[in-house]
A and B are shown apart, each in its own frame.
Chain A
């Protein structure tokens, strides 16, 4: 049997080809990994290893976190949380020039704190905020670009589905990953605020001011988010302060969301069934991807490809910052043909050993990787968020949406570079809290 880096490299090329052909990501990862394991270890060990991985993944306690957070998000959506978050932000900032765009980004961050998906955040906030901005005379490029970029906050602000999957693949604490994501998520949001301020400062016609909300309206909007806001504080605060584990936080979040739905009179048999079915469908998608990724990671581990690439890069003697900048360019290039999840699952087993060999933190790498993934959500030709927004407002061309998202894309690249040069952005909070 053969176990050489060259076999691993062939496996990566095969996987890339399968992914580009449109094969489901989990199936492509699984079949490439299984085929590779058969070549390197033989049929019997490959089948047994895969069988073990399937059972372990399906009964994995930490992975149970994901469906529970998804259930929380679906129930909060049923309770009308997305509109409430935007409503509050719009009443607080809407009267300023560009205020509704700022409110949309803040709303995306708020919705991102109960939902771990960029696409879901973009779709949901797009439905709520884009029509409002267009009605108020905002440029359609700015309105759509803001939501497409703001939607990526869903992936970074905890709870994040991508970070849970990364934590499972890389065997890292999900709680620490969530804690590490908070400052990058907030600074990303601030970057978007700066972009909006610069845009409307240079061209005021892009975003006319809207009437100022009265304090009574603001307080009423605040009251509408108190319960969900409190739930977010308990869930994220509990994880960050180490009072509860990520899995317990997910369960408490889902239980709290159920109670909120009941309190608001929005929970009946039909809505519960829909929330459960949507949660199960998305969970099934993720489970298949994780099973496939673990089989593929086992294959890459056997071939020694990651070690070989690591040695080659270390021999270049570029230093951690230059190496990671190179890795970022590589990820952005690969991200032009692969979507975020595929990118993360393909590169984690290869790049993680390299990163840890350079003395960098695996937690930091998880944040860096998710940040790079997020950029892939808004840059063509994949740029899924752009297509999602176009689905929401079909009369705005993809070209206009891309034009709108370009300034945010530039801010993302600056933010990613800052994350590489100053790892403390991600690692500061967990270190300070002793996580």
Chain B
């Protein structure tokens, strides 16, 4: 599990560092009148991997922002029950988002979707987005079925 997480951090982090490099080079290129063609398209593609990795890591770590006003005052037993209900709702949402993403991908499968300048194909990007949602769905379902610690 730790190795998988390491891999995820380096892939998503690598995507982030690629965005840093591409946008910095684009800025320098523009200033010296040697523009980097399609830099925005590259950043849009790599940011998807950073966003996907970020979503998975935040979910794995239970780091999503929440209002703790009520939750912090509940006894442990009820807090765990509420957390499972929340995880179930999260699973429902991710399942719906996955369904919507797959639906569009299926509709556009033969449409040769690609970016304008560099002709980056969208198919792998849509697959990556769907995979991210699939992982989030699984993580939420695991949280629903996780046994109580007390």
Which positions in A face B, CB cutoff 8 Å?
Answer: 18-27, 30-31, 34, 47-52, 54-55, 57-61, 63-64, 67-68, 71, 243-244, 247-248, 250-252, 254-255, 258, 272-273, 276-277, 279-285, 287-289, 291, 337-339, 341-342, 381-382
8 contacts between A and B (CB under 8 A): A30-B93, A58-B52, A68-B16, A252-B23, A280-B12, A283-B51, A337-B69, A382-B67
Is B103 within 8 A of A24, CB to CB? no
Which B residues are CB-close (under 8 A) to A287?
51, 54-55
Query: B70 interface residue, CB < 8 Å from A?
Result: yes
Which B residues are CB-close (under 8 A) to A52?
100, 104
Is A51 within 8 A of B100, CB to CB? yes
Is A255 within 8 A of B65, CB to CB? no
Cβ of A10 to closest chain B Cβ, rounded Å: 17
Chain B interface, >50% SS class: helix
A23-B89 contact given A50-B100, A64-B19, A255-B20, CB 8 Å threshold? yes
Is B67 within 8 A of A63, CB to CB? no
Is A22 within 8 A of B43, CB to CB? no
Q: Count CB-based A-B contacts (< 8 Å).
A: 209
Q: Contact partner of B23 among A18, A47, A251, CB < 8 A?
A: A251
Is B51 within 8 A of A24, CB to CB? no
Which B residues are CB-close (under 8 A) to A18?
89
Query: B144 interface residue, CB < 8 Å from A?
Result: no
Query: B44 interface residue, CB < 8 Å from A?
Result: yes
Which B residues are CB-close (under 8 A) to A20?
67, 69-70
Q: Mark B25-37, 1 if CB is under 8 A from A, else 0.
A: 0110001000000
Q: Mark B57-76, 1 if CB is under 8 A from A, else 0.
A: 11101011111111100000
Q: Mark B85-119, 1 if CB is under 8 A from A, else 0.
A: 01001101100110111111000000000000000
A24-B99 contact given A280-B54, A287-B55, A341-B65, CB 8 Å threshold? no
Query: B141 interface residue, CB < 8 Å from A?
Result: no
Complex Cα gap A78–B82 (Å): 37
Most buried by A among B48, B56, B96, B126: B96
Complex Cα gap A55–B86 (Å): 24
Complex Cα gap A20–B22 (Å): 41
Q: Which residue of B lies closest to A382 (CB)?
A: B69
Complex Cα gap A285–B51 (Å): 10
Is B103 within 8 A of A51, CB to CB? yes
Q: Contact partner of A54 among B6, B40, B97, CB < 8 A?
A: B97
Which A residues are CB-close (under 8 A) to B67?
19-20, 22, 25, 337-339, 342, 382
Which B residues are CB-close (under 8 A) to A68?
16, 19-20, 23
Cβ of B63 to closest chain A Cβ, rounded Å: 5
Complex Cα gap A24–B66 (Å): 4
Q: Which residue of B lies closest to A24 (CB)?
A: B64
Complex Cα gap A64–B47 (Å): 6
Is B104 within 8 A of A48, CB to CB? yes
Which A residues are CB-close (under 8 A) to B47?
58-61, 63-64, 67
Is A280 within 8 A of B104, CB to CB? no
Which B residues are CB-close (under 8 A) to A22?
66-71, 82, 86
Is B51 within 8 A of A30, CB to CB? no
Complex Cα gap A339–B69 (Å): 9
Query: B142 interface residue, CB < 8 Å from A?
Result: no
